[in-house]
């Protein structure tokens, strides 16, 4: 029997998971979990690259993310699910890879430029965290990495680091390939439809979170930015708000975008249009929220994470020791 390729994915526990995360990340992973030897982790160490108010909040969000993944349909029998900080090899490999990475490469990372512009005192962790991402990927001999379009640059850097290390020390790391989500990664903010819907947006009214109440969802969609045109048609430049709502419908119902456009184009009542979007969102989130409540009351989440931690540590520590031997560490 042919060995399955290995897939790795993770979502940083900053803010709250949105329908954009669900369509562009979580659901995509669920589709792949049986096809690949799948690894899913919560990268909690990434959260402290920017200032955090409370340590306990990181722990709460990490657990909430883990519970939501399972509520969305993650099957622990078909994947290795763990928390990043519970596998020390992530830190250990990062240092070796930092010594293999050039400053100029990190200077070119667009996410660093974007995030650093929002803070006055920047820690060096924000500058070097793409190397931690590379360690996350390379530790597990990953073949496939599902990412949003804005994260593709990080996988390309990972490949460059891996190739440089292999050239210096001999064949050690696999060369991972990115998979870009087609629809979910294009879901935009309801209030600022030129921006991606974010789990940590300053204005929460622009994001639909997986744990939003029915009244919150209705309020957010009814207040979503549209225009004064009065007609529904798809044009991301001229009608970004309306186009975004059609994209949300398409993503959640898995209806091809062209068919979704055809369904709504020509409608003249924005209220009726938004009612249909609201219903689709509610239908998607009701079973997830029900399962989430059930999981919160059980010990199942800890059982899954403990099992995942054990397997992840076994694989990652072996890879890390191989790297240490090649660079000359230890006795």
Q: Measured between alpha carbons, how far is 24 from 252 in angstroms, rounded to an integer?
A: 10
199 is a catalytic site residue: yes
196 is a catalytic site residue: yes
Which is catalytic among the residues 188, 196, 220, 274? Answer: 196
Q: Measured between alpha carbons, how far is 80 from 10 in angstroms, rounded to an integer?
A: 12
Which is catalytic among the residues 199, 220, 239, 274? Answer: 199
Q: What is the DSSP string of 69-112?
A: HHHTT--TTSEEEEEGGG-THHHHHHHHHHTTS-HHHHHT-HHH
Segments of 98-244 assigned E as strands: 144-147, 177-180
Q: Label residue 198 exposed, middle or buried (CB < 10 Å: 0-12, 13-18, 19+).
A: buried
Q: Measured between alpha carbons, how far is 108 from 196 in angstroms, rounded to an integer?
A: 21
CB 164 within 8 A of CB 102: no
Looking up tokens 């939501």 gives 68
Q: Label residue 180 exposed, middle or buried (CB < 10 Å: 0-12, 13-18, 19+).
A: middle
DSSP H or E stretch at residue 38:
strand 37-42
Q: Measured between alpha carbons, how far is 218 from 281 in angstroms, rounded to an integer?
A: 9
Taking alpha carbons only, the member of 197, 162, 199, 137 closest to residue 13 is 199
- CA 176 to chain CA centroid, nearest Å: 17
Cα angle at 306 between 304 and 311, to 5 degrees?
95
Which is catalytic among the residues 4, 34, 53, 115? Answer: 115
Q: Measured between alpha carbons, how far is 74 from 322 in angstroms, rounded to an integer?
A: 31
Q: Measured between alpha carbons, how far is 172 from 325 in angstroms, rounded to an integer?
A: 11
Active site residues: 115, 196, 199
């Amino acid at each position: 029997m042919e060995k399955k390729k290995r897939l790795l994915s993770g979502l940083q526990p900053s803010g709250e998971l949105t329908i954009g995360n669900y369509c562009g990340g979580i659901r995509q992973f669920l589709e792949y979990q049986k096809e690949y030897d799948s690894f899913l982790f919560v990268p909690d160490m990434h959260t402290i690259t920017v200032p955090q108010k409370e340590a306990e909040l990181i722990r709460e969000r990490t657990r909430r993310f883990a519970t939501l993944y399972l509520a969305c349909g993650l099957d622990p029998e078909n994947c290795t699910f763990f928390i990043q900080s519970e596998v020390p090899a992530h830190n250990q490999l990062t240092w070796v890879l930092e010594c293999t990475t050039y400053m100029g490469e990190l200077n070119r990372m667009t996410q660093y430029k974007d995030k650093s512009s929002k803070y006055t005192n920047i820690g060096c962790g924000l500058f070097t965290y793409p190397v931690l991402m590379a360690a996350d990927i390379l530790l597990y001999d990953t073949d496939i990495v599902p990412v949003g379009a804005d994260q593709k640059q990080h996988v390309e850097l990972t490949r460059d680091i891996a190739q440089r290390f292999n050239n210096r020390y001999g064949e050690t790391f696999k060369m991972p390939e990115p998979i870009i989500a087609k629809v979910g990664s294009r879901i935009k903010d309801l209030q600022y439809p030129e921006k991606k819907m974010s789990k940590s947006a300053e204005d929460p009214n622009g994001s639909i979170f997986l744990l939003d109440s029915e009244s919150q969802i209705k309020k957010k969609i009814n207040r979503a930015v549209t225009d004064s045109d009065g007609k529904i048609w798809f044009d991301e430049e001229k009608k970004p708000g309306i186009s975004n709502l059609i994209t949300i419908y398409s993503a959640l119902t898995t209806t091809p975008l062209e068919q979704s456009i055809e369904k709504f184009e020509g409608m003249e009542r924005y209220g009726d249009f938004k009612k249909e979007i609201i219903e689709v969102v509610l239908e998607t989130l009701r079973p997830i929220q029900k399962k989430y409540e059930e999981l919160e009351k059980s010990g199942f989440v800890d059982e899954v994470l403990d099992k995942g931690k054990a397997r992840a540590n076994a694989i990652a520590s072996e890879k890390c020791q191989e790297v240490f031997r090649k660079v000359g560490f230890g006795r």
